[in-house]
Amino acid sequence: MADFREYVDKGTELFKAEKYEDAEGYLLEAMRIGKPFADVYYMLGVIAWHRNDYENARRYLEEAVNMNPGYVEAATNLALLYNEHGEYEKANQVHRKMREITEARKTSDIEPYLKSKVANMYAEIGDIFKGAGHLLFAEREYRRALDFAPEYLDIKFKLALVLKDKGEKEEAILILKEIVNKNPNFNNARINLGVLLFLSDKRDESRYHFEEVLKRDPENKNAQMYIRLIEQHQTK
């Protein structure tokens, strides 16, 4: 007869292979015969969420976080689950707790792969907030992501777009300039930078970036349109 550890190991193997139904059977049996730990609750929570069983997903993930408050993956998934169901204050509580824990640790001591994973999780939460129109919360999550992966230009770009939508043009321009300096081929960043410079009456600088876009993408409609607008202003 298999013991607790064997059930957990087999359940974990099946979970990693995304064979969730089979994994759940082994993990539930492990719970029945022994004292489960946070990983077991986390996997059961993800499995329940995968089949849209919100109540069990929530219960298992909360238990995983209660057992191990520093369990980043469990806490992040719990926050995502709360956000998905409109429980924003509970999600914020999880975020605050995660922030306290991560700030207590030096990020330099965290393995690069984990930094990347955490950064992408925060960015995903930011995407959810942005999609729901909560720009302040989205900004906060993108900044948290960049605490772990400041070199991720795609996340910097998301932050710049949120700042642009909030009307914070100056910081958005600074971030977009940093992006195109590091990656001259990031045309979406150049387009948005050109637009913000145009709106700030910096027409020559704006035109430069639109022309740089056209060098790389001659059919870019946005760049063509703004160059026409700049030319119209110059002829007035």
Does 161 share its domain with 191? no
Does 187 share its domain with 155? no
**Cβ 64 vs Cβ 38: under 8 Å:** yes
Tens digit of pLDDT for each residue in 109-135? Answer: 667 778 888 889 899 999 998 998 999
Which tokens is 7 given?
Answer: 């059930």
pTM of the model: 0.58
Domain CATH for 15: 1.25.40.10
Measure the CA–CA gap between 55 and 44, rounded to whole angstroms. 12
Residue 84's pLDDT band (cuts 50, 70, 90): confident
Identify the residue whose tokens are 């942005």.
130
Does 61 share its domain with 122? yes
Does 161 share its domain with 194? no
Measure the CA–CA gap between 89 and 12, rounded to whole angstroms. 32
Measure the CA–CA gap between 175 and 213, rounded to whole angstroms. 18
Tens digit of pLDDT for each residue in 138-184? Answer: 999 999 899 888 899 999 999 999 999 999 999 999 999 999 999 99
Measure the CA–CA gap between 100 and 21, rounded to whole angstroms. 35
110 DSSP 8-state letter: S
Does 128 share its domain with 161? yes
Tens digit of pLDDT for each residue in 47-80? Answer: 999 999 999 999 999 999 888 887 878 888 898 8
Does 104 share its domain with 194? no
Domain enclosing residue 12, as ranges: 4-167+174-179
Total domains present in the chain: 2
Single residue among 134, 154, 179 that ends a domain in this structure: 179
Residue 107's pLDDT band (cuts 50, 70, 90): low
